[in-house]
Structures are given as C-alpha cells and as structure tokens.
Amino acid sequence: MGMGMDEKSPQDQAFRAVAGYWASQTLYAAAKLGVADRIGDDLRTAAEVAKALGAHEPSTLRLLRALVTAGAVRAEGGRYGLTPFGQTLRTGVPGSMRSFFLGVMADDHRRAWASLDQSVKTGETAFDRIFGMPVFDYYASHPEVSADFNDAMTAGSAAVEAAVTAAVDFTSFGRIVDVGGGNGGLLSAILNAAPKSEGVLFDTPSGLAGAKDLIKARGVSGRCEIVPGDFFAEVPGGDLTVLKWILHDWDDRRASAILGNCRKSASPGSRIMIVEVVLPDGDEPSIGRLGDLNMMVMTGGRERSAAEFRALLEAAGYTDVRVLPTRSPFSIIEARAAG
Ligand SMILES: C[S@@+](CC[C@H](N)C(=O)[O-])C[C@H]1O[C@@H](n2cnc3c(N)ncnc32)[C@H](O)[C@@H]1O
C-alpha cells in the first residue's frame, strides 16, 4: 500500500500501520460472513460468492480484492480461491482459526481496545470500567458471548496442541489436571498422547459449557473427569497440573493465589506446567508485547518473562523451574512441587 509515498518513508509506515487495523477488520468481516466456507477448495467468481452469502455483489468483489491484499484469498482469471492462511477462516477444518477471529475480535474485545489510552492513563482495566464487572463475571452472565470466547480459546489451543505434545512426554503422569482448561481441547490432545493417563478438567461452569461434547468428540470421555469450581478457592491435585493461558489473565497477587492453591493440592515431587508466551528480557520486540496490552484492557493481567514466572513459582513453593520452548510462540514453564 504505497499510496504514492516512498515505500520506506516513515509516512508510509504510518499508512501501513493504520491499514493493519483495516486488514484485521477485513478478515473479521470475512469470518463473520463465512466467505471462506463459501469458497472452500474451489475457485469462485465474486458473483457466486455474493449469491451464496446473500450479499451485495459489487461490495463482495471489493471485499475479495481486499482479502487478496490481506493474504487470505488468491485471484486467478477473475475467480477467487483460498490461500493456506485463508483456509484457516473455514469452519470445522483442521487448523481452523475462524472462531479465534470471531471470539477475540468480538464487540466486547473491540470496545475494551478502544479504551486502551484510558487504561494507560489510569492503570485501570478498560473492560471492567466499560462493562461494570470483570470479564469472567461478564461471561458467566452472558452465555452467548462466553460460548464465542470458549470457541476462540479452543481454536487458539488447537493451534498449539501438537507443539505442546511434541515438546513433552506426558506418558509418565498418572493424573493430569488442566486448571482453567476451558472446553478441554488441550487436555484431550495430552490424553491422546498419553493413552494410560487420566485427566481432570477444571474450570468455572461457564468455562466448561462445551466441555462434555468436545471431550466426547476427541474420544477421551472415559478418562476425563469434568470438575467445575473456582481456582481462587481450591484446585484438584494430580501428578501434573497444567495451566495454559491462565496466569496471564491475572496480576501478580491473583496469579500467586492460583499457584498457591495448585501447590496446596500438589503432592511433593508432582509437576506443574505453565503454557504461555514468554516475554523476552528488556525491550526486545515480541508478539507477546501486543498480547500484554490485550491483557491490560481485557483482564487486568499481564504477559511475563521467564524470570517473572520463576519468581512466582518459587514464591508458591515450586523448585527446579525450567523453560522448554515449543515450535509455536508458546513455551512451557515447568517446575516441581518442593518436598
Ligand atoms: C484465557 S482462557 C484459557 C482457556 C484454556 N486454558 C486455553 O488455553 O484454551 C482462561 C480460562 O480461565 C477460566 N477461569 C476464569 N476464572 C476462573 C476461576 N475463578 N476458576 C476457574 N477457572 C477460571 C475461564 O473460564 C477460561 O476458560
């Protein structure tokens, strides 16, 4: 998008930065409309796509061309197909990220992001100020928004399940507890990689709303117990406790309370594995820096460096902390319950 500017000029960078926001909105609209589902593995004209969507044809053509620019669609002789990235906008295909767009770019998230400047000024969580309550309380009383968020988490987790199960051998753990495990996508993948292990999926009732169906569909319902609860009150114990995308939702005080409850129920020698994007030290750029602001506006939590995870874990009574990289942006911070 040169807009007549020198491609490398700072002004061009500014145009591109704003267009990055437009590109995200374009992809979100395509996900909402179900554009990728209408194209599938075929090449379609804009007229065919518009008809299948029941949409305005000239506007559909403009959307498709913007999707070419955003990298999701390819044009071939007046017809449009999906790139590998565009395939992720389809529903129900392996590797689908459509739900991730729908949940994480939904109205609640966008309203919170629109108040980022206020959060920076005041240190307050934008979501709480706008909606009058913390996000997980809001989800508990808004099942449809919560279902979209849970689906987004399932899609986001599915994208890293293979990387997590490739990085760690889970077969030596008898009982594996996923704390805040949502609908159980990651735990199902772990149980499928460890066929003799048993799982405990722990979350709030709203977090677990789709768990029974998903666990059944993944073929592990016979080995996976679903336990509703509150990790600020009590957490079930096991040989391994997994927390993915949990601690980043909370400030240090509350993250310590969750870890303290995990430690309370853990027998000496049992393990804990935290699956998160780990921030680099200092000012080095990382996608985690943007996720950190997502936490600032949505939950009041934060992304953390390896040293920050280590400090939290050691204060909660864990030892032998080590960080295992995976082939995804996520790392596994592993530790042992001190004897
Ligand atoms: C960011 S999501 C991560 C879900 C899942 N671990 C994943 O990575 O896909 C955070 C999860 O924490 C759960 N949660 C929030 N507050 C909780 C509480 N007080 N007790 C138990 N679970 C809670 C939410 O319901 C949600 O499923």
Residue 142 among the catalytic residues: no
146 CA closest ligand 1 atom index: 25
Decide: 219 and 192 in contact? Cβ < 8 Å: yes
Decide: 182 and 155 in contact? Cβ < 8 Å: no
In angstroms, what is the span from residue 104 Cα to ligand 1's centroid? Answer: 14
Six-digit token pair at 210?
A: 């789709």
Low-confidence stretches of the chain (pLDDT beneath 70): 1-7
Rounded to the nearest integer, the mean pLDDT of the chain is 96
Structure confidence at residue 59 (pLDDT): 98
Question: Residue with the nearest Cα to atom 16 of ligand 1?
Answer: 136
In angstroms, what is the span from residue 257 Cα to ligand 1's centroid? Answer: 15
In angstroms, the Cα distances linking 26 to 131, 142, 242 are 26, 26, 35
CA distance 193 to 171: 7
Decide: 339 and 268 in contact? Cβ < 8 Å: yes
Decide: 115 and 130 in contact? Cβ < 8 Å: yes
CA-based radius of gyration for the chain: 22
Ligand 1 pocket member 151 (CB < 6 A)? no
Q: Interior CA angle at 144 toward 220 and 250, to 5°? A: 75
Quick: pLDDT tens for 26-49: 999 999 999 999 999 999 999 999
178 CA closest ligand 1 atom index: 6
Residue 70: other Cβ atoms inside 10 A:
20
Domains and CATH numbers, the chain: 10-96 (1.10.10.10), 108-337 (3.40.50.150)
Ligand 1 pocket member 303 (CB < 6 A)? no
CA distance 157 to 332: 13
Decide: 185 and 219 in contact? Cβ < 8 Å: no
In angstroms, what is the span from residue 180 Cα to ligand 1's centroid? Answer: 4
